[in-house]
Structure 1
């Protein structure tokens, strides 16, 4: 990094905080700014405009833009640039965090407090970016926007090759580098420890950084990462087309209306069926399938058969809350097997079976139902995230060249999803052209298993993932981790650890122990700064009572043993949480992290090894 001051001033400043602080890398009492907050508006940095610097209680808030330009490739000639915000605490303790983005980005978090919500208050400097584009003309980084409802909507930016790169990887790298320069100027010290933390696309940001820019961050927390998002996009199209076979009506765009295919009561039955097959495999019936390794199709299919209307043992009335139709069962099997082309070649991944297919009303979250079926019911409108956010990303971002369509209408984004060809369109996630020299897998994916550069410079990586969150397959990240471990001579755990969370919806929520962000943050700082690797992370459930009914299609022990208001351990993959046999089931102290028992034979993990066209990049 280019320094903005003399080396002698750095040495003098370090000397002023004491030799013990320098030895441990962090000033014991923190460092105060050496300049006023408002003075930062006059700071000159290459290709960067600082738009505002505002003193707030406890910290200085800086907003700026990097590489602002008018696109020549975009027919609308919109303005683009990497908008960023940086909070600088009045007393800084040497740490910097870059927050990952979300979705297709396009909206700057102008007051970033940290991905765990506590970092600025604890003396961290924290930055965020907008991914190189803005969805609203009222944004704080220059009054420009790049949405066009007739040409891709909020994904319109993907018509510009540089904007694609900024979204994929360049925005994080440029923002972190610029933020560190401002930090150095403001405090007279270089950053001691650098971190990145984010979920979903932000989790992808984190994994991309560890692979593309291994020098940039000491500690990486990647939550529910879309590390192979273009391939996950294929599953979005696959799922909706499969669900569309159950549809009996059309939506306002003339496409299959999906909400009626799996009403809430049917998803509840599906969850109960999966639990009946697998809940006891970890030794405790509590509504949480900790031994997801053993929850295979061979166990789940007979349970689904027993919950099939008419032929099973749980009633014969479709949509009555006790059984699924045979067609619904067939759809679930096809979705959980994962997308394939006409030759039967796998295009993304299969999925672990998980009770989180149903999201109880008292444990809300963006789970399987939200992504695939419905979010908020609107008559005649498909509101599933796959058909809103996903329908924009699939043609515009994941295809090369982008397929420009209006957002709505009979030839809009939904229509593209339902007509998507898994033979001719799916390969385009790997396509490059003269105008778009990087495929979507090139500029977005973080599928490399060669993390030697990151490991060799001392980097530490924590990944936490839902077993099945409805958009990203838990089997896919588990498979990547195993392959990476093999690539790293079976020593991945020296620097990288994966934690799987059953039942958790996307980035939190659901009938699960989902509150663990601050503990995860402590785990990464302990690992980076003190060499203490996390063996388990304690997670809490915030429900005051079990979100599962006390009877009906569910085993009554579920409501009794669910850890409402309690804690459970998240275990280092492939270990699982196991009840010790006594004590409260809502106390993590009564659970051990054990190796799953693969000695009993039969179908078990790793039943997800056949990944087809998953490719190792870089």
Structure 2
């Protein structure tokens, strides 16, 4: 009789349980626990008048007044598993928009709040990030909510709306949780048994911000590719990768339209050479670099004079630009690292299109990330010249040591780098932290730095946190590696039954790759037989030596409890922080 494979979907798990067949521990635990969470029907009407009749005075921090703007019943359909009440509202004193979906008849007492990416500004409410196969999502059993983080639209939103800065920084997620929980209690006559937060990118920053500032808001948090060091990421991380690829790198200010060394058409060649050099290090030649830190790629092998003028080869100046992009930003005054080593990791080259145009005369998307963020990082001083309202540009970014310190000063409001999660752990909270090794937007090195500092401070991180690094996966998904998985089910199992997650199975539907991913630092290794696209043919392996690629930088102080997170309000149209 064949042994039952341990990698099955959540739907298959339910079917097997009914047949009395063994289940993976986490799936069995959550299914068993789910049976004890009875479905609760709505106890009030899904109408605007009914919601406007709720008394939510004093629910939100800062005396935020709650108003509802639209309420409608959405019937079940082929694309919608169960009828739900769609709710839109605003939490003052700014314009923090909230959106909720409340199942009408099959709510199983769980609340899941979704984060949003980029600079947010949208209140679109979809399924939780990386929840493919989650039974509760597929059945429409969850109350879900999200927020626009206090603003909509253009990059200048903070200029005339200072509350938006505070809502975006940390308040928006918190007051949304406060209001959503109060709405649930009113709508069902019963409070949520468990509350969860799930987000990636800025949503990952929001997730960590919740754990750090409001340890009692959520029982479980999934934080993916967190933009938790926002001021460094949206200035020096993105800015350096554009500037260092120009013909006068390190010379500031630079011409607005300097000549680029590398264009998007060069990237396929660079990637092919990196993969050829480093793919087999993990024991499988599959086009995926499992841990880019183990790749010691020599960029001189890209140079035409060193490889017999191979088709697609680069000049020495172009190869040097590849090395600088990979290496990360440094201070122009003393060479200190402004971000961790290897911040553009080997294996992600195909997505370096963010940093360079397709042709000379074009612009790089990374430049827009910087110019957009410079409105926010200099609190109450959004313009280079206030009298003419001249905006700062990429050319105004100061790469000196003192420039770095002043540019990231507002991190006390925006950053979610405080490693002290002891209050969150003490409240019984559980955290799943995750990142793709080939992330082209946010470096996994920053998330590693957070994990390392948090682990040292809390001393027993495994009791409440797990960290997963997905090989070859891009930003929140995509990439050549396994990039689709379910985090919500194991998170609920951990919170509700104490079953800590271990192996997660991720798939890439485009390439057919399926791999187990284990809590860091354990990795998957090929067992030696069977298809390398089949997750069941891999086993866990924990490296015996730590990586020699450091996460240290000039910004180390940002990752200490001494870097206090500011509490802010608005006085006279200005953001005022303690």
TM-score over 0.5 for the alignment? yes
Aligned partner of 1:421 in structure 2 is 398
In the TM superposition, 1:44-443 aligns within 5 A as 44-46=55-57, 47-57=65-75, 58-68=83-93, 80-90=94-104, 91-109=106-124, 111-115=125-129, 116=131, 119=137, 121-135=139-153, 153-157=154-158, 160-233=161-234, 234-245=236-247, 255-256=256-257, 261-295=261-295, 299-301=296-298, 304-310=299-305, 312-313=306-307, 315-316=308-309, 320-321=311-312, 323-341=313-331, 342-351=333-342, 354-359=345-350, 367-370=351-354, 372-374=355-357, 380-382=361-363, 384-393=364-373, 395-404=374-383, 416-423=393-400, 424-431=402-409, 439=410, 441-443=411-413
Decide whether aligned partners of structure 1 residues 402 and 240 sit closer, same or farther in structure 2, where only a CA change above 3 A counts. farther
Give distance in 1, aligned partners of 2:277 and 2:226: 28
Decide whether aligned partners of structure 1 residues 159 and 381 sit closer, same or farther in structure 2, where only a CA change above 3 A counts. farther
> Could you report, residue by residue, the CA deviation over 1:48-106 in whole angstroms, capped at 9, with x for unpaired residues?
001111111110001000014xxxxxxxxxxx411000110112101101111111111
Give distance in 2, aligned partners of 1:337 and 1:113: 36
Q: Which residue of 500, 503, 506 corresponds with 2:472?
A: 503
- Residue 449 of structure 1 pairs with residue 419 of structure 2: yes
Aligned partner of 2:52 in structure 1 is 41
The alpha-carbon deviation at position 336 of structure 1 amounts to 2.3
> Could you report, residue by residue, the CA deviation over 1:434-467 in whole angstroms, capped at 9, with x for unpaired residues?
xxxxx2x111111111110011111111111122
- Aligned residue pairs total 500
Give distance in 2, aligned partners of 1:338 and 1:129: 33
Give distance in 2, aligned partners of 1:390 and 1:31: 47
Give distance in 1, aligned partners of 2:431 and 2:383: 37
Give distance in 2, aligned partners of 1:499 and 1:536: 10
Decide whether aligned partners of structure 1 residues 202 and 338 sit closer, same or farther in structure 2, where only a CA change above 3 A counts. same
Report which stretch shifted further, 166-175 or 34-43.
34-43
Give distance in 1, aligned partners of 2:490 and 2:378: 38
Contact 2:221 2:431 in 1 (8 A): yes
Give distance in 2, aligned partners of 1:60 and 1:378: 49
> Could you report, residue by residue, the CA deviation over 1:408-433 in whole angstroms, capped at 9, with x for unpaired residues?
x99655xx2133111253222343xx
Give distance in 1, aligned partners of 2:278 and 2:247: 28
Give distance in 1, aligned partners of 2:381 and 2:543: 44
Contact 1:461 1:496 in 2 (8 A): yes
Gaps of 5+ in 2: 1-29, 58-64, 76-82, 565-578
TM-score (norm: length of structure 2): 0.81
Contact 1:100 1:199 in 2 (8 A): yes
Gaps of 5+ in 1: 1-20, 69-79, 136-152, 248-252, 360-366, 432-438, 544-563, 599-603
> Could you report, residue by residue, the CA deviation over 1:167-223 in whole angstroms, capped at 9, with x for unpaired residues?
010000000110000000000111111111111101100011011101001111111
Question: How large is the RMSD of aligned CA atoms in angstroms?
Answer: 2.7
Give distance in 2, aligned partners of 1:447 and 1:429: 16
> Could you report, residue by residue, the CA deviation over 1:347-368 in whole angstroms, capped at 9, with x for unpaired residues?
2222266454333xxxxxxx33
Contact 2:291 2:471 in 1 (8 A): no
Aligned partner of 1:605 in structure 2 is 547
Decide whether aligned partners of structure 1 residues 421 and 429 sit closer, same or farther in structure 2, where only a CA change above 3 A counts. closer
Decide whether aligned partners of structure 1 residues 158 and 505 sit closer, same or farther in structure 2, where only a CA change above 3 A counts. farther
Aligned partner of 1:548 in structure 2 is none
Contact 2:66 2:90 in 1 (8 A): yes
Give distance in 1, aligned partners of 2:228 and 2:294: 25
Give distance in 1, aligned partners of 2:446 and 2:68: 41
Aligned partner of 1:138 in structure 2 is none
Decide whether aligned partners of structure 1 residues 211 and 263 sit closer, same or farther in structure 2, where only a CA change above 3 A counts. same
Give distance in 2, aligned partners of 1:354 and 1:613: 19
Give distance in 1, aligned partners of 2:396 and 2:246: 11
Contact 2:482 2:507 in 1 (8 A): yes
Aligned partner of 1:588 in structure 2 is 535
Give distance in 2, aligned partners of 1:26 and 1:84: 30
Contact 2:207 2:221 in 1 (8 A): yes
Contact 1:368 1:505 in 2 (8 A): no
Give distance in 1, aligned partners of 2:35 and 2:95: 34
Decide whether aligned partners of structure 1 residues 189 and 120 sit closer, same or farther in structure 2, where only a CA change above 3 A counts. farther
Q: Which has the higher contact order (CA 8 A, sep 6+)?
A: 2
Decide whether aligned partners of structure 1 residues 24 and 286 sit closer, same or farther in structure 2, where only a CA change above 3 A counts. closer
Decide whether aligned partners of structure 1 residues 246 and 279 sit closer, same or farther in structure 2, where only a CA change above 3 A counts. farther
Give distance in 1, aligned partners of 2:257 and 2:121: 29
Decide whether aligned partners of structure 1 residues 410 and 584 sit closer, same or farther in structure 2, where only a CA change above 3 A counts. farther
Aligned partner of 1:5 in structure 2 is none
Contact 2:159 2:382 in 1 (8 A): no
Q: Which residue of 534, 537, 540 corresponds with 2:501?
A: 534
Contact 1:347 1:611 in 2 (8 A): yes
The alpha-carbon deviation at position 570 of structure 1 amounts to 1.7
Aligned partner of residue 266 in structure 1, secondary structure: helix
Aligned partner of residue 156 in structure 1, secondary structure: coil
Report which stretch shifted further, 174-183 or 480-489.
480-489
Give distance in 1, aligned partners of 2:379 and 2:428: 36
Decide whether aligned partners of structure 1 residues 470 and 256 sit closer, same or farther in structure 2, where only a CA change above 3 A counts. farther
Contact 2:438 2:479 in 1 (8 A): no
